[in-house]
Structure 1
């Protein structure tokens, strides 16, 4: 027996508190109950809970793009003090600067590019540093997209968003949605600047740290796509149950339609009231974030083989099409049944 009984009683609650609670996944239970109630009305055995096998996010060692380290000597860099680049380079070359995480590395590269372009425009035309700085500018411009890729796919807080999180969203809560959407739109803006060969204004670079902090407690996209995949599996399993017994549902004139009415009641109580709004919200959230991710996560050519399965399934829309089709198949069953049984849509018995 614990020496601290009060703490022993509180410990399970504390362990479950941080993000998702201790309940058995309520969404999973709702899909299961919906399926089971329909099976009871049909007097048929319920199907087993579906298994969901999904392509994982590749390992960090697979996704990390090599980037040639380009350093400018401090003696030469000191000559850049008048255009403001000296202090930035000195901080980067310090011990703390060398230990920066991926987000701060990206921030440095953006600030460096802005400072470098200012120096190129203000140094005297006869400066011995100009040829070297112009070479740095070409190399750094090419590297920016690689720094952004490495930050997204190997930086701790960002990668956490894309790793699968095998716990479906609650029916009425989608933690991290607003924070992730804002973060990805901000990164898409940076990506578009890089593609166009433009620089990010220095006062906007701090947004990287702000968004990193805002998303670090969530696992949003990985949870979103898992929720969609799990919903698809449950809907497909339930539609198969209904279609297998569709012919046994009696809906003839002057015949007792009690079974059809019971099925209708289950539909309205579990699907129309709770699952349908949940499915619509998943659809909406996916569509909102997909555009940014299509740009940000398009795999570099050297990683197309390793990353394409993830990209095609989650980002390019394969999972989304399967999700929409599962919903459509399920709704079509109910449309056929309501029409055949002359049950008015929108009225719950």
Structure 2
């Protein structure tokens, strides 16, 4: 029978090895790729690149003030006739006064729907009608502001937007489906409000479901950091290759050993691991950018604080530089494979 402590140690080491392989980060692969290229070129690998990217502004710079409109108790009691009194009482309760941004926006959507029901069903000579019509107009103006405050200052949604300084794993992008669905839903809410229409109660209630689904992830902040790190590592590797291009001797009747070794590194690391990862980042960003460009369009009151973030991550400046880094890197290899008369797509 094998020695138990020794056997246990072997099992632990094996599990740790498997775990390490399974959760290899893209950062590790990009760095290893750079190191292997440097080994073949017989030069020092690139220094780890610095990634200096805009951060999300502080809450105090993004939060927009909203006038708190109150209805007198007697008027609110009158609203029992059209079913709105209960909702107002819930808002004025102890719990209602400490609602988070998502619950408050949900309340405002439900209130607007109830308000329109009251306007449609109360007698035309009801004394409260003029006040309700004025309230309706004010609430229509406030709802987009509630949406903005929820997205940029509410804990759950803001968590998605803050930069998360940890790239995705090679085969893991946690939170994409939940965030994509949530942002498309908020785009529907945004467009409905812009059209001057009312969000149905069932749709308003879904806010809480989406809040719960996204809460466990930091998806968008991790996505843009992954784009930025990939861009910076690719640019570093491209610079390494181009700086030593003259030392890659190849062509007819020449020793092509170095070019062949570089080709093997390219296929093993870039084609095998990195390229699929980059393609997935590109695809996911392209999908989630569509709703974000609309719902995160900054109001003029906060544009100076939010503009750098918006232009880089939402309008697409970072994504464009990411694609350009890929293009420059691939162009080097196309040029080298052609010059060395090596077939792209085959490993030696």
State the TM-score, normalized to the length of structure 1. Answer: 0.93
Unaligned runs of 5+ in 1: 1-19
State the TM-score, normalized to the length of structure 2. Answer: 0.93
Which residue of structure 1 lines up, in the alignment, with residue 148 of structure 2?
A: 149
Which residue of structure 1 lines up, in the alignment, with residue 340 of structure 2?
A: 341
Question: Is 2:311–2:317's contact at 8 Å kept on the other side of the alignment?
Answer: yes
Question: Is 2:23–2:169's contact at 8 Å kept on the other side of the alignment?
Answer: no
Which residue of structure 2 lines up, in the alignment, with residue 260 of structure 1?
A: 259
Question: Is 1:231–1:323's contact at 8 Å kept on the other side of the alignment?
Answer: yes
> Separation in 1 of the partners of 2:288 and 2:143?
23
Alignment of 1:26-41 (within 5 A): 26-41=25-40
Q: Which moved more, 1:163-172 or 1:241-250?
A: 241-250
Task: Establish whether residue 286 from structure 1 lines up as the match of residue 285 from structure 2.
Answer: yes
Which residue of structure 1 lines up, in the alignment, with residue 199 of structure 2?
A: 200
Question: Is 2:24–2:170's contact at 8 Å kept on the other side of the alignment?
Answer: no
Question: Is 1:264–1:348's contact at 8 Å kept on the other side of the alignment?
Answer: yes
Superposed CA offset, 1:280-337 (max 9, x none): 0000000000011001111001111111010001100100110000000000000000
Which residue of structure 1 lines up, in the alignment, with residue 175 of structure 2?
A: 176
Unaligned runs of 5+ in 2: 1-18
Partner SS for 1:205: helix
> Separation in 1 of the partners of 2:43 and 2:265?
15
Partner SS for 2:278: helix
Which residue of structure 2 lines up, in the alignment, with residue 48 of structure 1?
A: 47
Q: How many residues align?
A: 331
> Separation in 1 of the partners of 2:84 and 2:90?
10
Which residue of structure 2 lines up, in the alignment, with residue 226 of structure 1?
A: 225
Alignment of 1:68-217 (within 5 A): 68-217=67-216
Partner SS for 1:112: helix
Superposed CA offset, 1:198-231 (max 9, x none): 0111111111000000010100000000000000
**After the TM superposition, which parts of structure 1 deviate over 3 Å for at least 4 consecutive aligned residues?**
20-25
CA RMSD of aligned residues (A): 1.6
Question: Is 1:25–1:168's contact at 8 Å kept on the other side of the alignment?
Answer: no
